[in-house]
Chains A and B, each alone.
Chain A
Amino acid sequence: MDGVENVLEIRGLCKRYSGFALTNVSFSVPRGYVMGLIGPNGAGKTTTLKTILGLLQPDFGEIRTFGLDAALHGKKARARIGFVHDDPRFYDHLSLAQNAHIVRRFYRTWDPESFQRLAKSFGLPLEKRFGTLSRGNKTKFALALALSHRAEFVIMDEPTSGLDPVFRRDLLDSLTDLLQDERTSILFSTHITSDLERIADYITLIQHGRVVFSVAKDEILERWALVKGGLDLLDQLPADTFRGVRRGEHGFEALTDDAEATRARLGDAVIIDRASLDDVVLYTSGAASADEMVNVGASTLADDVGAEGGRTDA
């Protein structure tokens, strides 16, 4: 990503709460690309997105949007950003048209035709009150607003949660169309990784408040793999061979971040399959029970690509 203009740069972001902390979060979103932000519930995705928008104040670290310090130039940055909250909040007693009428005045680049087109395409009943809409329609409305002021950077927090598969596909297609101008960038947080496999160019994985990796999606799909073999083989291997291991009764399934090296090392003794993003999240989070899964090499996760230097919070 070096040398490409970035719409977002986060360096050493730290934010501490009681019982949770974002630690040394660093990644960038290049102009014209889609960055997927994945991680299990409670990993820190929403906290990260909120600090970008200025809804939360970081304890330490730097956030730059369009090259500007977000803390000093938040107003200017937000004029160019479209944001979809995980729980869209507008005024329940007003209709969608009335809510849009309020929002549009704040954006000098508002495109009324674009809004009408999106509302029609999303099947939004503009005369209905916002409070009477389903969760899915609320998200669609928030999306329509976010996309109607020609935002150069669209940030979406779990936008496809609660949406039906048909609309999810249509939404992803709309986002793909949006990217044709090579000017619009998208940061898309989700735990539905199949959506990102369709449209994301880059993936950042956050676990327990830390960035595990921030790399091109294709690199993940090429480098990471599922390895299946016998338990006797597993017992012979060093503990840190794999990123996560799942023991079964007769064999194991493990995740490796270097499929080629694993193939060269273990050869025909194992079966190597392509790992999905879901697999990567599952195995790196150690989400299964302790009997089934051993998450090894956890202390080395922060050494992966994308986690750059910065003082950790005290």
Chain B
Amino acid sequence: MTTAQQDHGTAQAWGLGRNDWLLIRRDWILNRVSILMAAFVFATFQVLIVQVPIDLPYIWVFITCMWAAFLTLGPLGRDEKFRGAAWSCSLPVSRPDLVRARYVGAWGLVGTAYLLALAMAVVVPGSKVSVSFAIDLDTLLVGATIVSVILSFLLPSVIRFGMKGILVLMLPLNILLPITFVVSKATGTQDSLEGNFLAGLQALALMIAGIRDGLSRPLFYVVAVLLLYAVNWASYRLAVALFLRREF
């Protein structure tokens, strides 16, 4: 069997295109040391956090998934350090191929990180995170939502602008939030702003719970997954459109 046939077979086994497989494989070879180091730090953190009594179990989901999502930026940052994007675009792959591989690789990393967190929850003595909670559909849905929100915002910007793409996103927030705070304080509306924000979050949670109760459970999960898929798909299309404009 030739190497090309092997690659094709492996790609098919994972449900990927050949170029997707080659690009993800390349990213793994380039970043395996840093990924393994990050995994070690992540696992160590999990050993600590699963033992902490948490009043709201979804806090563990939030922290774990947020950390896992930001792990995906590591390979992107290293690629930029080596100015690999220009070289990548010289290969016989299209720019949509490159972007898709980033998204697939990011979700693969996140999924692996979650499995690692789950493993820690199982093996660490005195773990306060139960396996049944960690693999519950509601928990997985919340986690997928957190990851989707982070990745769908960050990835298009980072793929287009490199690591300074994080600044492109964070800078407006870092300007907008303080201004909002100052204005609300000056106008005496700070308490109601904070109250409204929390009330808004509660209302959102109630709304989702209401929809879940209104629909049948299976239908709710299907709708939720489709929505998340749509958000990620839109993010991917935006990333492709931005990356097509990138020049080297």
Contacts and interface: CB of A to CB of B under 8 A. Distances in A.
Interface stretch (A21-29, A86-94, A165-173): A86-94
Interface residues of A, number: 28
A119 B92 CA distance: 22
11 contacts: A55-B89, A55-B90, A74-B94, A75-B92, A76-B92, A85-B87, A102-B30, A105-B3, A106-B19, A106-B92, A107-B92
A20 B13 CA distance: 49
A92 B82 CA distance: 7
A251 to B, nearest CB: 48
A107 B86 CA distance: 17
Nearest to B4: A108
A261 interface: no
Interface of B: 3-4, 7, 19, 22, 25-26, 29-30, 82-84, 86-87, 89-94, 97, 245, 247-248
A90 B81 CA distance: 11
Closest 10 CB pairs of A and B: A79-B92, A55-B248, A78-B92, A75-B94, A89-B83, A56-B247, A108-B4, A106-B91, A102-B26, A89-B87
A75 B84 CA distance: 17
Contact of A54 (B87, B89, B97): B89
Interface of B is mostly: helix
Nearest to A102: B26
Interface of A is mostly: loop
A24 to B, nearest CB: 20
Interface of A: 50, 53-57, 74-76, 78-79, 83, 85, 89-92, 94, 98, 101-108, 110
Contact of A55 (B7, B30, B247): B247
B84 A89 contact: yes
A56 B3 contact: no
A80 to B, nearest CB: 8
